[in-house]
Amino acid sequence: MKTRTIERTRLVPHTVDGVTEMVLDREKIEVPTPPRDWDQLVRAAVTIGAAVLVTISLTWTTASIGALLAVSVASVIAYGAAVAFDASWIMCMGVEWLLRYDPARAALAKKAGRWALAVSMGAVFAHGYLAGHTVVGIVGALVSALAKGGWTIAMRVHARPLDPRTQQWVAKRRAALDGQLAMIPVRRELQRGQALIEAEQRALAAVADSGSADPDQSGQSADGPDPDPQPTATGPMTIKDAVRTAVDSGIRDPDRVLAYVRKVADANAREDTVARYIRLAG
């Protein structure tokens, strides 16, 4: 049996002059070597091979279709657009892999990938045909087909098929979680809308308050006397004195009296306190 050497570290008691402390002790031991996992190695090799095929296909298709499109547009634009042909079915295969446990949703990506592959192969063949190399066009078109086939096989190697009941269980759990995730942006949208409504209401209320506090005085002369004279403040005043002064000056409206009291006596004067003093003063 094959073995390998590993280093093991552990805490052990060590005593010096009667004092014991826990210290690290390192020792090397021989342990059996696990058998090589050939399945995992082959699986990794298949995945790497599929990735290489896809890279080669993308490069070849881009060069071929780019040369075809460069006849009518600038080379930079032509080769940039050529990338889209193979990139389309590669992206569809990526989506198919992500939805491997949801066959109903993966079906659309699988179908779209086949159509994108057919378009890509047709464009590569068209380039070879127009260049007078029909055989080259056919062989070049098969490069994309081989790459897609290799990646399909690699996905099957990594796939974990589910039985019908487990598939239904997964679908229900995913539906419940997807519903919760979908509600996150919905709640944010509703909160933003509610915030806008509240801000609009506050703005309208402020405008209304401003209009009632400063009514239109266009019918009065600018040089005329003040229609709402304020009593003259004569030094520090209590709330009671301020109410008495306002009432003696002819101010009877509770809101105006409260505003005057808060201006000359106490900025935090309570409305019920002022109202009580107004009754006593009346």
Task: Please write down the HEC assignment for all residues of the chain.
Answer: CCEEEEEEEEEEEEEECCEEEEEEEEEEEEEECCCCCHHHHHHHHHHHHHHHHHHHHHHHHHHHHHHHHCCCCCHHHHHHHHHHHHHHHHHHHHHHHHCCCCHHHHHHHHHHHHHHHHHHHHHHHHHHHHCCCHHHHHHHHHHHHHHHHHHHHHHHHHCCCCCHHHHHHHHHHHHHHHHHHHHHHHHHHHHHHHHHHHHHHHHHHHHHHHHHHCCCCCCCCCCCCCCCCCCCCCCCCCHHHHHHHHHHCCCCCHHHHHHHHHHHCCCCCCHHHHHHHHHHHC
Look at 86-95, 159-168, 206-215 and tell me which has the smallest mean pLDDT. 206-215
Predicted pLDDT of residue 215: 47
Q: Does residue 65 carry a pLDDT above 50? A: yes
Between 247 and 41, the higher pLDDT residue: 41
| Short-list 120, 141, 130, 145, CA closest to 68 | 130
Predicted pLDDT of residue 208: 66
Radius of gyration of the chain (CA): 42
Predicted pLDDT of residue 32: 83
| Short-list 71, 86, 76, 80, CA closest to 124 | 86
Query: What whole-number distance in Å separates Cα of residue 98 and Cα of residue 104?
Result: 13
Torsion of CA 253, 255, 260, 266, to 10 degrees: 140
Query: What whole-number distance in Å separates Cα of residue 249 and Cα of residue 234?
Result: 13
Which two structure tokens, joined as six digits, stand for 23?
């210290």
Predicted pLDDT of residue 221: 45
User: Which pLDDT tens digit goes with each residue over 8-22?
Assistant: 888 889 899 888 999
Q: Confidence class of residue 202 from pLDDT cuts 50, 70 and 90?
A: confident
Query: What whole-number distance in Å separates Cα of residue 138 and Cα of residue 187?
Result: 54
Q: Does residue 219 carry a pLDDT above 50? A: no
Give me the residues paired with residue 32 across strands.
3
Helix 134-158 with 75-98: angle, nearest 10 deg: 30
CB neighbours of residue 167 within 10 Å: 15
Between 214 and 190, the higher pLDDT residue: 190
Q: How far is CA 170 from CA 103, 104, 138, 158, 174, in A?
A: 11, 13, 43, 18, 6
Predicted pLDDT of residue 146: 92
| Side-chain-side CA neighbours of residue 131 (13 Å) | 20
What's the whole-number mean pLDDT along residues 221-232?
Answer: 49
Give me the residues paired with residue 5 across strands.
30
Predicted pLDDT of residue 211: 52
Predicted pLDDT of residue 132: 87
User: Which pLDDT tens digit goes with each residue over 86-139?
Assistant: 999 999 999 988 888 888 888 999 999 999 999 999 999 999 998 888 998 999
Predicted pLDDT of residue 56: 92
